[in-house]
Amino acid sequence: MNSLLLYVAAFLALITMLIHSIVGEKRLISPLVNSNDGIMAQNLAKQVLRFAWHFMTLLGLIAVYVLFDAARSFPAVDRVLLLLTGTVFLVAGVYDAIVTRGKHIGWPFLAGIGVLTLIALYI
């Protein structure tokens, strides 16, 4: 297993989560919350949307920790957890690329985290 690749994946995941939270809030969440169109006329929808967005970031930070911890103590790492983490990131990145036709900025980061994690497991 290659701990350097896991450190790179963890760093890339950290940057991705920060961009998700900060840029997503500015360019997507705030405009939606400030809108009163359709379901966004309801305060509950606004609160749930913002909560869900930033909760997703927190879940991503847990993945950052998993990757960082695996890199730091790679002889004792749970290989199944890393396999799942890498696979989920890779599948999410590929799915994002397909459904957005490559227009969403997140897909290369998600796929890259997955690829780095999976490669790190096997070299």
Tens digit of each residue's pLDDT (9 = 90 or more) over 58-105:
999 999 999 999 999 877 788 999 999 999 999 999 999 999 999 999
Assess whether pLDDT exceeds 90 at residue 53. yes
Q: Considering the entire predicted model, what is its pTM? A: 0.91
Residues 6+ apart with CB under 8 A from 16: 60, 106, 109, 110, 113
**Of residues 75, 71, 77, 108, the one with CA closest to residue 93:** 108
Q: Per 3-state DSSP, what percentage of the chain is helix, strand, and coil (rounded to 5)?
A: 85, 0, 15
Cα–Cα distance measured from residue 50 to residue 39, given in angstroms and rounded to the nearest whole number: 14
Asked if residues 80 and 59 have their Cβ atoms less than 8 Å apart, the reply is no
% residues pLDDT > 90 (the chain): 92
* Angle, CA 90 vertex, CA 89 and CA 93 arms, to 5°: 85
At residue 98, what is the residue type?
I
